[in-house]
Structure 1
Amino acid sequence: MQIDKSHIIKNSVIAFAMTLFFTCKSNLEDVKQLSMSANDPVGISDSINVKRTDSGRLSANLISPKMYDYSNRMFSYSEFPDGIVLHLYDKNDAQTTIIADYAIIYNNTDVIDLKGNVIAATPTKDTLFAEQLYYDQSKEWLFTNLPATYRSKGYVTSGNGFDSDKDFKKAEILGVTGQFAVQE
């Protein structure tokens, strides 16, 4: 019995095509799963207590019940949906405390965006009330361009913004809308 060469080639091509057909699968589901996970956080943490030091000295302490880590994004950030307490320390370890209902730390800019019932209180009991406040960690500067109320020794001042160093030594209400004296 003689085998024709064209028959061998034909069967080889069919076997090769069938092998390719059965080994290739649709990656559509994998692609969908990848695109969905790009919107999800890369990590979720509970009970956060992060300390930042400068030359071996504690400069900040951030406490939060939950953190979502979006470092998988081009403009990476960490989100604190359940609020934060941020303690800022000066060179004498005096503590300024800032609380907020929600916060985002933008990793590329080192800025913390604090939102919702923001209260900042200094060791001398000066207090800032705002709906949003930014803290630039590298410059150690607090600011907002939204309405804010600042209570300092003997005065309550309201305005359309706030600008200050973290120690409130250079605190300034911008666009003052009202000021009145209070008895201590």
Structure 2
Amino acid sequence: MKKRRVYNILNIVTVITVTMFFSCNDSFKQVQKIGISENEPIGVDYNINLKYTDSGRVKANLLSAKRLDYSNRDFPFMEFVDGVTLYVFDDENKKSTVVADYGIVYSNTDLIDLQDNVVITTHDGRVLKTDQLFYDQKKEWLYTNKPVEFKTEQDLIKGNGFDSNSKFTNAEVLEVTGIITLEE
């Protein structure tokens, strides 16, 4: 009788354990979202001054008044709502500047979308102005299909669209609408 009772208790414990094991799931992400609306950022940062270094040298410095972190979404991104300024330093420590009134960085695709009064000034004096510019971080490629002004040493080129690598060694204004030759 005692053996049968122990056997029944052991069966009950086994059934409960197996039931609990199969009913468990990974709810860590659900726990993280408790109290956070999916439309709200998971974090807000103010007065950002981020520096990216490589081998002890500053390669980039990002400044922004406000960043919203939406990494809690299925397609995570960071939004710079009050503008962004980025200083990029080459191997010879020459500085190029990127300024925009608004920016979004998409984490999954490594795509940066800069909007409104986008101005890039390279270390050698070339200036690109447009209302929207995309930067593909994986391919290190800049592009837009919006109207642009691109000032080189000799010319001010206007057009609809722009393509270039990140070093501007093959910068090209697409659908050129005008070229003004600058006097030296």
Give the TM bin, normalised by the shorter chain. 0.7 to 0.9
2:36–2:42: 8 Å Cα contact kept in structure 1?
no
1:88–1:166: 8 Å Cα contact kept in structure 2?
no
- Rg larger in structure: 1
1:131–1:146: 8 Å Cα contact kept in structure 2?
yes
- Distance (Å, rounded) in 2 between the aligned partners of 1:53 and 1:161: 32
Q: How does 1:168-179 map to 2 (within 5 A)?
A: 168-179=168-179
- Does residue 118 in structure 1 map to residue 118 in structure 2? yes
- Distance (Å, rounded) in 2 between the aligned partners of 1:136 and 1:94: 22
Gaps of 5+ in 1: 1-32
**When the two structures are superposed, what TM-score results if normalisation uses the length of structure 1?**
0.76
- Distance (Å, rounded) in 2 between the aligned partners of 1:136 and 1:62: 17
2:51 aligned partner, one-letter code: K
Identical aligned residues as a percent = 47
- Does residue 95 in structure 1 map to residue 99 in structure 2? no
Tell me the CA shift for residue 57 of structure 1.
4.3
Gaps of 5+ in 2: 1-32
Corresponding residue of 1:78: 78
Tell me the CA shift for residue 134 of structure 1.
1.1
Q: Name the count of aligned residue pairs.
A: 152
Corresponding residue of 1:181: 181
1:146 aligned partner, one-letter code: K
- Distance (Å, rounded) in 2 between the aligned partners of 1:54 and 1:107: 21
- Distance (Å, rounded) in 2 between the aligned partners of 1:92 and 1:140: 19
- Distance (Å, rounded) in 1 between the aligned partners of 2:133 and 2:155: 21
| SS at 1:86 equivalent | strand
Larger CA deviation: 33-42 vs 67-76: 33-42
